[in-house]
Homo-oligomer: A and B are copies of this chain.
Amino acid sequence: MAVYTDVSDEALEAFLSDYAIGNLVAFRGIAEGVENSNFQLRTTQGDFILTLYEKRVNAQELPWFLGLMQHLAGQGVSCPQPVASKAGQTLGTLAGRPAAITTFLPGVWPRKIRQEHCRPLGQALARLHEAGRSYTPIRPNALGPDAWQPLLDSCRAGADAVHPGLLAELDEAFTHILPHWPGQGTNAVLPHGQIHADLFPDNVFFLQKSVSGLIDFYFACTDFLAYDIAICLNAWCFEGDGSFNVTFGRQLLQGYESVRPLSAEERQALPVLARGASMRFLLTRLYDWINTPADALVTPKDPLDYLKRLRFHLATETVDGYGF
């Protein structure tokens, strides 16, 4: 669930008095989400989301995230727009946590991914990238390739208990990813900019077969734009049994390129980016799997879903292997 911190009604009233958004009408915790505590907030002026940032978010980075959302919303991207207080601040403190109020977005995230979702998703992702170009502050990707070896090292003791031979398999996989990573050594540098970096189905709202909103920008960072596509290929285009859905992938890519065509270098880099993306989610899930206490509120996700994806990407040498 996504309410780690509860908020007393007195503290909430005091917090809201700093904003010019009317009087409190309703306040319910939202079950979705993993990292932060989210509440649906209704006032006499409308609906909002109240987010309390929990310990896995670095409070010093919050202005970057809120600034990005503000910027994207200003460019026409349907994403949560931070609401400024009477004093002009988008970041406050509530129940001892950094807290922000953002606009409420309509829509429903797809519990079951269908083909019809993938083209609009690709379009929305490309529009996000275009809109992010004019947001100049940089946030390096804290979960990029440099983070993977330390992450795996921290899982060394427990990895093989999760899956026999996993450690050796991942060590070997690194040799097929890291030396080939774009912009390293002799490789071409790809177009980069602001990426969402976590655009899983529960972060994409649909309404009437169109994307109505993108949420949860707290992994967003400055990285290769095509890496965001690689993340979406992993998150949206695999079946429950781990097989790649070529049709979904094609729709995603066609949707993306209808807004922002990829360069030849970006297409060529997709397989290694896809390997890297599966490695990134495999490693963080593996870390959580090993380190989550049994009584935690959030059930960790199975890292092995991403091992199947990684194996597929390792076996796919060129972009043709994806059927693009």
Q: A residues near B, CB below 8 A? A: 1-3, 6-10, 12, 23-32, 40, 42, 104-108, 110-112, 114, 205-208, 294-295, 297, 299
- The interface residues of chain A, by DSSP majority, are classed as loop
Q: Which of A10, A23, A25, A26 has the most CB of B within 10 A?
A: A26
- Report whether B297 and A294 are in contact in the complex, using a CB–CB cutoff of 8 Å: no
Distance in angstroms between the alpha carbons of A299 and B28 in the assembled complex:
19
Distance in angstroms between the alpha carbons of A42 and B105 in the assembled complex:
11
A311 to B: closest C-beta gap in Å: 28
- Report whether B294 and A112 are in contact in the complex, using a CB–CB cutoff of 8 Å: no
Given A295-B299, A299-B295, CB of A111 within 8 Å of CB of B8: yes
**What is the oligomeric copy number?**
2
Residues of B close to A25: CB separation below 8 A? 106-107, 207
- Report whether A108 and B40 are in contact in the complex, using a CB–CB cutoff of 8 Å: no
- Report whether A108 and B24 are in contact in the complex, using a CB–CB cutoff of 8 Å: yes
In the complex formed, the residue of B with least CB distance to A294 is: B294
Residues of B close to A7: CB separation below 8 A? 111
Distance in angstroms between the alpha carbons of A3 and B40 in the assembled complex:
16
Given A40-B40, A42-B106, CB of A10 within 8 Å of CB of B112: yes
- Report whether B27 and A30 are in contact in the complex, using a CB–CB cutoff of 8 Å: no
Distance in angstroms between the alpha carbons of A206 and B26 in the assembled complex:
9
Given A10-B112, A40-B40, A295-B294, CB of A107 within 8 Å of CB of B32: no
- Report whether B32 and A28 are in contact in the complex, using a CB–CB cutoff of 8 Å: yes
- Report whether A107 and B30 are in contact in the complex, using a CB–CB cutoff of 8 Å: no
- Report whether A3 and B31 are in contact in the complex, using a CB–CB cutoff of 8 Å: yes
Distance in angstroms between the alpha carbons of A42 and B27 in the assembled complex:
15
Which of B23, B31, B206, B294 is the one whose CB lies under 8 Å from A29? B31
Which of B10, B31, B106, B108 is the one whose CB lies under 8 Å from A1? B31
16 more contacts with CB within 8 A, not counting A9-B206, A294-B294, are A1-B2, A1-B31, A6-B111, A7-B111, A8-B112, A9-B108, A9-B110, A10-B114, A26-B104, A26-B106, A28-B31, A28-B32, A40-B40, A42-B106, A294-B295, A295-B299
A146 to B: closest C-beta gap in Å: 34
Could you list 25 examples of A-B contacts with CB < 8 Å? Answer: A1-B1, A1-B3, A1-B297, A3-B31, A7-B111, A8-B111, A8-B112, A9-B111, A9-B206, A10-B112, A12-B108, A23-B208, A24-B108, A25-B106, A25-B107, A26-B104, A26-B106, A26-B107, A26-B108, A28-B31, A28-B40, A29-B31, A29-B32, A30-B30, A295-B299
